[in-house]
């Protein structure tokens, strides 16, 4: 059984024009999928719809065997926002990472254990008592991921996880994400980043899913990429 399944889904605000239509794809447990498309193509709206923030306009989404219903948030499905500052609101790093686990009603030792583990997985050990707004950009980004991991999600939706990171931080992010067993969908303009992490790519543009297949095939298809305002990543262009 697939972890996430969309069939003929329509996406967009109820009172506006549709952003994406007739969207259908499945994701398996532990699969990593890259989501590519120009700004405004609907990557964020798709994430919000899968995460049950936006209602679907049409079709069915099922996650973990149950239909997704807008407003019913599922702790197994975590989303990491593009702007880390929108997501970090507790005073210190440890408190922020623990937030989701505390809300699940777990016993205190379990919350502490999960927090310590999530901090370690994200390379943040030792920063527990730092105020979140004093963290660097890369640390903030990883703190958001730790705050999601603490809930032990089955699917992570990551919106531009490499934006504004320097190369070292970007490399750390690749290492971190590639080690996680969680299924994830990553929206990014950083195609090299996706190429290293995601065996599979979805390309959306002009209101529909334009391609769904192996990352290498899609990203190296110069005609397809140009048609949708993308450029073949340099590492594939010369390869």
Please give the residues from 133 up to 162 whose contact with other proteins meets the rule CB under 8 A. 133-134, 147-148, 151
* Token pair in block for residue 56: 């679907």
* CB contact set of 71 (below 8 Å; sequence gap of 6+): 52, 55
- Mask for 105-124, x = binds other proteins (CB under 8 A): x-------------------
HSE-CB of 120 using CA atoms within 13 angstroms = 6
Q: Read off φ and ψ for residue 170, nearest 5 degrees.
A: -65, -40
Beta strands 155-159 and 183-187 are parallel
Per CB under 8 A, the list member of 1, 17, 39, 86 interacting with other proteins is 86
Interface of this chain with its own copies, residues 32 to 71, rule: CB under 8 A: 37-40
DSSP 189: S
Q: How far is the CB of 197 from other proteins (least distance, A)?
A: 22
Q: Which of 53, 112, 164, 174 binds its own copies (CB under 8 A)?
A: 164
Strand pairing partners for 214? 200
* Distance from C-alpha of 57 to C-alpha of 183, rounded to nearest angstrom: 25
Q: How far apart are CA 159 and CA 12, in angstroms?
A: 18
Stretch that binds other proteins, among 13-21, 70-78, 118-126, 173-181 (CB under 8 A): 70-78
Asked if residue 130 binds its own copies (CB under 8 A), the reply is no
> What are the residues binding other proteins (CB under 8 A)?
48, 51, 53, 73, 75, 78-79, 81, 83, 85-92, 95, 99-100, 102-105, 129, 131-134, 147-148, 151
> What are the residues binding its own copies (CB under 8 A)?
37-40, 82, 136-138, 160, 163-171, 189, 192, 229-231, 233-235, 237-239
């Amino acid at each position: 059984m697939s972890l996430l399944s969309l069939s003929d889904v329509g996406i967009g605000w109820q009172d506006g024009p549709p952003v994406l239509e007739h969207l259908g794809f499945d994701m398996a447990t532990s699969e990593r999928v890259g989501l590519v498309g120009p700004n405004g193509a609907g990557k964020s709206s798709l994430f919000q719809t899968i995460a049950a923030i936006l209602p679907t306009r049409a079709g069915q989404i099922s996650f973990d065997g149950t239909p997704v219903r807008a407003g019913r948030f599922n702790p197994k499905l975590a989303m990491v926002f593009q702007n880390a500052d929108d997501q970090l609101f507790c005073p210190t790093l440890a408190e922020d990472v623990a937030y989701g686990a505390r809300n699940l009603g777990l016993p205190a030792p379990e919350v502490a254990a999960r927090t310590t583990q999530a901090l370690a997985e994200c390379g943040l050990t030792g920063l527990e008592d730092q105020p979140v707004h004093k963290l660097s950009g890369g640390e903030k980004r990883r703190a958001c991921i730790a705050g999601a991991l603490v809930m032990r999600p089955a699917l992570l939706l990551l919106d531009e996880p490499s934006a504004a990171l320097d190369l070292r931080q970007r490399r750390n992010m690749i290492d971190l994400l590639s080690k996680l067993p969680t299924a994830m969908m990553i929206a990014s303009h950083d195609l090299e980043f996706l190429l290293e992490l995601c065996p599979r790519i979805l390309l959306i543009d002009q209101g529909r899913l334009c391609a769904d297949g192996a990352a290498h095939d899609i990203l190296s298809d110069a005609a397809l990429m140009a048609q949708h305002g993308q450029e073949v990543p340099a590492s594939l262009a010369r390869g």
